[in-house]
């Protein structure tokens, strides 16, 4: 597979969408949607995320969501509805 030259930029954009824009708060936000939005190849970006962070794209989004839920529970006594 030929490496995508825009991959570092895609990596940075994806990380910024999570950390700065907090798009994981939107329940419809998915890794594949993020890749379409930033123009990244999902398989290549997923490999880079695994290599650099130890998480797949979906797992990373899930981790951010779990951390937010834990914080809301601990700080405000809130829990997500099922």
pLDDT, position 3: 59
pLDDT, position 7: 73
**Banded pLDDT at 4 (limits 50, 70, 90):** low
pLDDT, position 65: 96
In 10 A of CB 38, how many CB atoms? 17
Q: Are 7 and 40 in contact (CB under 8 A)?
A: yes
The predicted model scores a pTM of 0.84
What pLDDT, in 10s, does the model give residues 22-47? 999 999 999 999 999 999 999 999 99
> Which helix (H) or strand (E) segment is 73 a member of?
helix 57-76
What pLDDT, in 10s, does the model give residues 62-72? 999 999 999 99
pLDDT, position 1: 46
């Amino acid at each position: 597979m030929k490496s995508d030259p825009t991959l570092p930029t895609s990596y940075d954009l994806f990380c910024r969408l999570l950390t700065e824009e907090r798009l994981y708060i939107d329940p419809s936000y998915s890794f594949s949607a993020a890749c379409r939005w930033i123009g990244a190849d999902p398989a290549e970006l997923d490999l880079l995320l695994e290599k650099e962070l130890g998480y797949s794209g979906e797992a990373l989004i899930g981790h951010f969501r779990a951390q937010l839920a834990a914080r809301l529970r601990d700080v405000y006594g809130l829990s997500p509805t099922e």
